[in-house]
Amino acid sequence: MRVGILLFDEAEELDFVGPLEVFGVASRLVQSLSVVTVSKDGQPIRGRYGLRVQPDYCITDCPLLDLLIVPGGKGAREHARYDNAIISFVKTHASKQEIASVCTGALVLAEAGILAGRRATTHHSALDMLRRYADVHVIEGARFVVDNGVATSAGISAGIDLALELVRRDFGEKVAQEVAQTMEYSYQPAQPT
């Protein structure tokens, strides 16, 4: 299984680093799992609080992914959801494989039409922004929502909970618990909304 994390300028760092850590730790336990990062042009990105990251791939040379994770933050709200190349990449991926978002990454998925007719959540401060997409059934108060191959999570640290849920689903409770223990993260398996 190959997990890809989409990166763009002003993405919220924990939105992508949290899931990266979860799947990275899991890859030490499950040899068939790998994690890569991808950006629009393969150039370094600068996160919301200044972290610079060199992506592994650009959207045109990215290998086939089994799961794509889209982070949120100012970059998602103000730039990524209006970038035609990013939206096209997200749409193409979602038509073939699973996709997830953390925080306001849900706005990128909504803009791409992926959340149409689905239940979804986002950061509590952006629920009204997500409601502007009339075809999205917005769920308040949930840490994460999984709806037919599309997963969304609430703000920032909720992406860790979502990533652990996806690890649990794909590799079992024992692996998810071991990942959480390695991270010293208080993991309470939750039923997705």
**Helix extents (H) in the chain:** 13-29, 74-78, 84-94, 105-111, 127-131, 158-171, 173-183
pLDDT over 90 at 189, yes or no:
no
Q: How confident is the model at residue 102 (pLDDT cuts 50, 70, 90)?
A: very high
**Cβ-count burial of 41 within 10 angstroms (0-12 exposed, 13-18 middle, 19+ buried)?**
exposed
> Which listed residue (33, 86, 103, 139) is catalytic?
103
Weakest-pLDDT range from 143-152, 164-173, 180-189? 180-189
Query: Phi and psi dihedrals of 105, rounded to 5?
Result: -60, -20
Q: How remote is the C-alpha of 177 from its chain's centroid?
A: 20
Helix (H, G, I), strand (E, B) or coil at 57: strand
Distance CA 95, CA 111 (A): 15
- The verdict on whether 58 is a catalytic residue reads no
Q: Is the pTM of this model over 0.85?
A: yes
Instruction: Tell me the CB-side half-sphere exposure of residue 177, using CA atoms within 13 A.
Output: 4
Give the model confidence (pLDDT) of 55-97 as tens digits: 999 999 999 999 999 999 999 999 999 999 999 999 999 888 9
Q: Which residue has the higher pLDDT, 188 or 145?
A: 145
Instruction: Enumerate domains of the chain plus CATH numbers.
Output: 2-114+156-183 (3.40.50.880)
Per-residue model confidence as pLDDT tens digits over 1-45: 999 999 999 999 999 999 999 999 999 999 999 999 999 999 999
* Mean pLDDT along residues 118-124: 98
Q: Are 102 and 126 in contact (CB under 8 A)?
A: no
Measure the CA angle with vertex 126, ends 122 and 128; round to 5°.
110
Can you spell out the DSSP letters for 117-152?
Answer: TSEE---GGGHHHHHTSTTSEE--S-SEEEETTEEE
Per-residue pLDDT at 188 exceeds 90: no
d(CA 126, CA 143): 14
Q: Tell me how far apart the alpha carbons of residues 151 and 138 are, in angstroms, rounded to a whole number.
A: 13
Q: Is the pLDDT of residue 158 over 90?
A: yes
